[in-house]
C-alpha cells in the first residue's frame, strides 16, 4: 500500500467502539503518520483540523478496530484466489450449479474450475451436496475439482482424465479413490483420514503466472478489506515452501502494496526432515524480522508430520504415531533454544495431552520463560489441559471450523460432546490468551462475520445450535478475540487491536451495527470504509468516493470477475415461506419443512433427491 502521504485523516460523527477499557466509546479520531493521535469527541478532534486535513463524516456508522485473523492461509490462498470459484454463502445447490456451469463455459483449456473449501452442504436449502451426475452435466468438458471440508473431493470426468486417475491407479496411504462396480474411479476422493490425497490432486492443476499471482493476491486482500480484515497471521500450509512461494507477498511488501498486515509462520514441508527445515530457517530469518506490514512470526502450524492431528469428523479420531513424541521433542527443543515462537495444529484432547507432555519435558531443561507459543484449533481440549497450557504461558487460537463441521461432529460424538467444541468461554475464564480466526481457505470461509456469528449465536452455518447459551459469547467479548485478542499471537498487543492513541491506525466502518442487529444479520455485515495505516484501502456505498479504484482482475476469465468473493448474505431470504415455481409430489407447497430438515448425508453415495422431491429444481 502506498503510504507516501502524511496528510492527517480525521474521522468524525461515528459510533466508535474502541476496545480500550480506559475510553470505550468515542465519536471521532485523528490519524497522523499511520497512528491514532487523538480519540474522543468530534468537537475536540476537529480542533486539530488544518488546510491539509482530510475529514470524513461517518454519518453515525458503527466503527470498530480492524479485524485480525489469527489463523488464515492468506499467502497460499492469494496465489490461487483468482483461480477459484467460491460457494461461500451461496444459498442453494441450484445456485451453486448455475455458478459452476457459467464458469465452466468461461474457463479456457487446460484450466480447471475449482471450488476449494469454505462451503458445506448444510448451508444449502436442499441440505445436500451436488451429485457427481449434476457436476458432470454442468461441466461436461472442463475439469472440475470441488473440495468439501477435509473429508472428500468431487471430480468430474474431465478432471479425472486431467489428473490421470484410472482403474489402475492405486489408493494412496490414508486416502481412497472411490470406484464403481467395474473398478473405475467415480470422481469421489475420500480422506481416510489423511487429506493428502485431496491436496495432492488439487496440486496437479495448472497455476497462474507470476504477474497473475500478484493480481490474485491483491484481489484476495481487497476481499478481506471488504469484510473488515486489516491484519492476519499466516499459518503456512501444505505445498507452501519458504522462501520460494513467498516471492509474491514479499514483492507486494517491498512495493508497499499490501493492504493487510501479515505476520507469517513457517510450516515444514518435508516429512522425516522437519528438524532440518527449522535448522535451516533459524539461520535465514529471525522472529519479528520485517516491519509492521510484513514480519516473521515463528514456526508452525506444522512442526512434525507425525503430530498431524486431522480433523475429519466423518472418520474416527486418528491415533498419532508412536514416535511422535521423539520427533516433536527434537523440533521444539531446537525452537526453544533459538527463542522461536511456535504454533501447533491440534484438534483432539488426546493428542494435546501427548503434545503437552513433550512441551513440559522440554521446559524442564530449557525453560520457555515467556516464549510465545500456542495450539491451533483445540476443539476438544479439556479444562485440565487448558490449565497446562496456561502454566506454560501458551495461548489458543480458535476458528469457526465447527460452524462448517458441527453436524458431522454431532453425528459421530453426540450433541452433548459438541457443547464444548472448543470451550472458548472456559479458556477465557481460566485466563489463557485466545485469538479468533477462520483457518481459511480450504475448510471454513474467510468471512470473519461468519465466525463472529458462530461465537455469538452458537450455531452452524446450517442453523444447527451447538452450544448452550452460557457458552456463547457476548458480542463485545467475541469482537475482543478478533482484535486485541489476536494481537497477542504475533506479539503486537501494544500496537494493534484497539482504537487508542499510539496504536496503529487500522479501523473498520460497518454497514450495520454489530452490537444491536439481530443475530442472523451478523452474517451479512460488511465494511463500508476500511482504513489501514491511516489510509483508506476500501470504500463502498455512501463512502465509495473516498476509496481507491479497484484494480482489474486478471485473467479476464477468472471466477472473481463474475463472483467476487463471499456471496452477499441476505438473512431475510431464510424466512420466506415459499421460493419455488410450484408444488412437488413429496411436500406440496410446504417447502420450508423440507429446507429445515436434517436429512442424513454421511453416505457418500446418497443424496437428498432420492426422495423424489423437485422442490429445489428452480
pLDDT tens figures, 373-390: 999 999 999 999 999 999
Range from 166-175, 245-254, 275-284, 580-589 carrying the lowest mean pLDDT: 580-589
Mean pLDDT of 397-415: 97
Residues in the chain: 618
Task: Name the band, by pLDDT with cuts 50, 70 and 90, for residue 597.
Answer: very low
Of 2 and 91, the one with more pLDDT: 91
Query: By percentage, how much of the chain surpasses pLDDT 70?
Result: 91
Per-residue cell: 9? 485523516
The predicted pLDDT at position 37 comes to 98
Is residue 148 pLDDT above 90, yes or no? yes
The CATH class given to the 241-436+458-490 domain equals: alpha beta
Range from 482-491, 511-520, 588-597 carrying the lowest mean pLDDT: 588-597
Query: CA-CA distance, 289 to 362, in Å (whole number)?
Result: 26
Is residue 590 pLDDT above 90, yes or no? no
**pLDDT (tens digit, 9 = 90+) per residue, 506-540?**
999 999 999 999 999 999 999 999 999 999 999 99
Query: CA-CA distance, 415 to 393, in Å (whole number)?
Result: 32
* Packing angle of the helix pair 401-413, 448-457 (nearest 10 deg): 50
**In whole angstroms, how far apart are CA 583 and each of 436, 591, 609, 614?**
44, 8, 15, 8
Assess contact for 208 and 202: CB atoms under 8 A: no
Of 514 and 310, the one with more pLDDT: 514
Cell 472440475, residue located: 144
Cell 429446507, residue located: 595
The predicted pLDDT at position 318 comes to 86
Mean pLDDT of 243-252: 96
Query: CA-CA distance, 551 to 423, in Å (whole number)?
Result: 42
**pLDDT (tens digit, 9 = 90+) per residue, 9-33?**
999 999 999 999 999 999 999 999 9
Q: Are strands 152-155 and 35-40 parallel, antiparallel or unpaired?
A: unpaired
- The β-bridge partners of 374 are 343, 395
The predicted pLDDT at position 594 comes to 44
Task: Name the band, by pLDDT with cuts 50, 70 and 90, for residue 5.
Answer: low
Is residue 185 pLDDT above 60, yes or no? yes
Phi, psi of 511 (to 5 degrees): -75, -20
Which of helix, strand or coil describes residue 53? coil
Query: By percentage, how much of the chain surpasses pLDDT 90?
Result: 87
The predicted pLDDT at position 595 comes to 41
First to last CA, the chain: 44
The predicted pLDDT at position 2 comes to 47
Is residue 314 pLDDT above 70, yes or no? yes
**pLDDT (tens digit, 9 = 90+) per residue, 443-478?**
899 999 999 999 999 999 999 999 999 999 999 999
The predicted pLDDT at position 174 comes to 85
Strand ranges (E), 48-184: 54-57, 62-65, 67-72, 113-116, 144-148, 152-155, 175-179
Per-residue cell: 402? 465447527
Strand ranges (E), 331-463: 342-346, 373-377, 395-399, 434-437
**pLDDT (tens digit, 9 = 90+) per residue, 188-209?**
999 987 888 999 999 999 999 9
Amino acid at each position: 500500500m502506498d503510504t507516501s502521504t502524511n496528510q492527517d485523516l480525521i474521522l468524525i460523527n461515528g459510533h466508535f467502539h474502541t476496545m480500550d477499557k480506559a475510553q470505550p466509546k468515542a465519536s471521532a479520531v485523528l490519524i497522523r503518520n499511520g497512528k491514532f493521535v487523538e480519540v474522543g469527541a468530534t468537537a475536540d478532534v476537529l480542533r486539530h483540523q488544518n488546510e491539509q486535513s482530510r475529514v470524513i463524516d461517518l454519518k453515525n456508522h458503527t466503527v470498530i478496530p480492524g479485524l485480525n485473523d489469527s489463523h488464515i492461509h492468506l499467502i497460499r490462498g492469494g496465489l490461487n484466489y483468482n483461480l477459484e470459484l467460491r460457494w461461500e454463502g451461496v444459498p442453494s445447490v441450484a445456485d451453486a450449479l448455475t455458478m459452476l456451469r457459467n464458469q465452466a463455459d468461461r474457463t479456457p483449456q487446460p484450466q480447471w474450475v475449482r471450488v476449494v473449501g469454505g462451503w458445506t452442504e448444510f448451508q444449502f436449502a436442499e441440505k445436500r451436496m451436488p451429485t457427481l451426475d449434476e457436476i458432470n452435466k454442468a461441466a461436461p468438458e472442463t475439469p472440475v475439482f470441488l473440495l468439501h471440508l477435509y473429508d472428500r473431493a468431487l471430480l468430474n470426468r474431465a478432471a479425472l482424465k486431467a489428473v490421470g486417475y484410472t482403474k489402475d491407479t492405486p489408493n494412496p496411504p490414508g486416502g481412497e479413490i472411490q470406484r464403481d462396480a467395474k473398478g473405475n474411479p467415480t470422481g469421489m476422493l475420500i480422506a481416510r483420514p489423511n487429506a493428502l490425497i485431496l491436496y495432492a490432486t488439487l496440486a496437479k492443476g495448472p497455476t497462474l503466472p507470476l504477474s497473475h499471482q500478484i493480481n490474485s493476491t491483491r484481489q484476495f486482500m481487497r476481499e478481506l478489506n471488504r469484510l473488515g480484515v486489516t491484519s492476519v497471521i499466516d499459518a503456512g500450509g501444505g505445498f507452501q515452501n519458504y522462501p520460494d512461494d513467498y516471492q509474491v507477498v514479499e514483492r507486494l511488501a517491498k512495493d508497499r502494496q499490501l493492504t493487510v498486515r501479515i505476520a507469517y509462520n513457517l510450516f515444514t514441508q518435508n516429512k522425516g526432515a522437519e528438524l532440518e527445515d527449522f535448522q535451516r530457517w533459524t539461520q535465514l530469518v529471525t522472529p519479528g524480522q520485517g516491519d509492521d506490514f510484513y514480519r516473521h512470526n515463528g514456526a508452525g502450524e506444522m512442526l512434525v508430520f507425525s503430530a498431524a492431528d486431522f480433523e475429519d469428523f466423518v472418520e474416527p479420531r486418528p491415533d498419532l504415531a508412536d514416535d511422535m513424541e521423539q520427533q516433536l521433542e527434537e523440533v521444539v527443543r531446537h525452537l526453544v533454544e533459538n527463542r522461536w515462537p511456535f504454533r501447533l495444529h491440534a484438534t483432539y484432547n488426546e493428542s494435546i495431552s501427548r503434545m503437552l507432555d513433550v512441551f513440559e519435558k522440554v521446559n524442564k531443561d530449557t525453560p520457555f520463560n515467556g516464549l510465545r507459543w500456542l495450539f491451533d484449533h483445540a476443539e476438544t481440549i479439556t479444562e485440565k489441559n487448558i490449565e497446562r497450557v496456561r502454566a506454560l504461558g501458551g495461548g489458543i487460537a480458535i476458528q469457526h471450523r465447527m460452524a462448517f463441521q458441527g453436524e458431522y461432529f454431532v453425528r459421530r460424538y453426540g450433541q452433548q460432546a459438541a457443547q464444548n467444541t472448543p470451550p472458548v468461554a472456559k479458556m477465557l475464564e481460566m485466563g489463557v490468551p485466545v485469538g479468533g480466526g477462520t483457518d481459511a481457505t480450504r475448510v471454513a470461509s474467510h468471512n470473519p462475520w461468519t465466525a463472529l456469528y458462530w461465537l455469538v449465536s452458537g450455531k452452524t452455518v446450517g442453523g444447527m445450535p451447538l452450544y448452550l447459551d452460557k457458552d456463547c459469547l457476548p458480542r463485545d467479548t467475541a469482537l475482543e478475540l478478533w482484535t486485541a485478542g489476536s494481537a497477542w499471537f504475533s506479539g503486537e498487543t501494544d500496537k494493534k487491536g484497539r482504537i487508542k492513541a499510539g496504536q496503529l491506525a487500522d479501523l473498520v466502518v460497518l454497514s450495520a451495527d454489530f452490537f444491536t442487529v439481530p443475530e442472523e444479520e451478523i452474517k451479512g455485515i460488511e465494511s463500508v470504509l476500511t482504513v489501514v495505516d491511516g489510509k483508506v484501502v476500501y470504500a463502498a456505498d455512501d463512502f465509495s468516493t473516498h476509496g481507491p479504484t479497484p484494480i482489474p482482475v486478471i485473467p479476464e476469465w477468472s471466477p472473481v470477475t463474475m463472483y467476487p468473493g463471499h456471496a452477499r448474505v441476505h438473512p431475510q431470504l431464510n424466512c420466506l415461506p415459499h421460493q419455488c415455481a410450484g408444488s412437488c409430489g413429496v411436500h406440496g407447497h410446504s417447502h420450508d419443512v423440507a429446507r429445515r430438515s436434517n436429512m442424513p448425508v454421511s453416505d457418500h453415495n446418497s443424496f437428498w433427491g432420492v426422495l423424489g422431491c423437485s422442490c429445489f429444481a428452480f
